[in-house]
């Protein structure tokens, strides 16, 4: 649901918003005076999202930038969004580890080589644990154990 937001002295008051609300780019532009397609707007938006998270901490909501506006996700939306974000984070972790493993350590002193090797070992153990746990906990289709409603004509 789109809502207008109280604006005072170039500030945005998020306190009246609730899950499912959306602050439009037009409302935000009125306050910050920047074009949504600029880098400055994007940087300002990150600060506004942090402000919204502080002001709406009591909601325990997921707050995101969506189509140049700010969206306070419903619980249903948040579960899908956060799962995707989590999976993306694991992918980022795996790529970072892969890149770290390709570092040429021939010019490192012995202490830095040891630190680097230890970091790779720890990272590998974390990735291995995640992979193993995902395999073990693979979700399976739920089979209904209670009888269903039958059509008795």
pLDDT of residue 137: 82
pLDDT of residue 143: 67
What is the rounded CA–CA span in Å between residue 92 and residue 77? 23
SS3 65: strand
Q: How many CB atoms lie within 10 A of CB 5?
A: 20
Are 14 and 5 in contact by the 8 Å Cβ rule? The answer is yes
Q: Distance between CA 87 and CA 138 in Å, rounded?
A: 14
The string of pLDDT tens digits covering residues 100-123 is 999 999 999 999 999 999 999 999
- For residue 150, give both structure tokens: 């039958």
Report the pLDDT averaged over residues 78-102: 96
Give the strand pairing for 63-66 and 22-23: unpaired
pLDDT band at residue 135 under the 50/70/90 scheme: confident
């Amino acid at each position: 649901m789109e809502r207008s937001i109280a604006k005072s002295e170039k500030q945005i008051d998020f306190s009246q918003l609730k899950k499912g609300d959306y602050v439009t780019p037009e409302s935000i532009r009125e306050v910050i005076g920047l074009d949504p397609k600029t880098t400055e707007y994007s940087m300002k938006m990150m600060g506004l999202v942090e402000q919204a998270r502080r002001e709406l901490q009591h909601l325990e909501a997921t707050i995101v930038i969506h189509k140049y506006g700010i969206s306070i996700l419903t619980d249903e939306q948040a579960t899908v969004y956060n799962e995707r974000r989590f999976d993306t984070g694991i992918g980022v972790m795996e790529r970072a580890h892969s890149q770290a493993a390709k570092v040429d350590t021939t010019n490192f002193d012995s202490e830095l080589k040891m630190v680097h090797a230890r970091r790779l070992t720890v990272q590998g153990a974390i990735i291995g644990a995640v992979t193993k746990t995902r395999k073990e906990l693979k979700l399976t289709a739920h089979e209904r154990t209670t009888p269903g409603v039958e059509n008795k004509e």
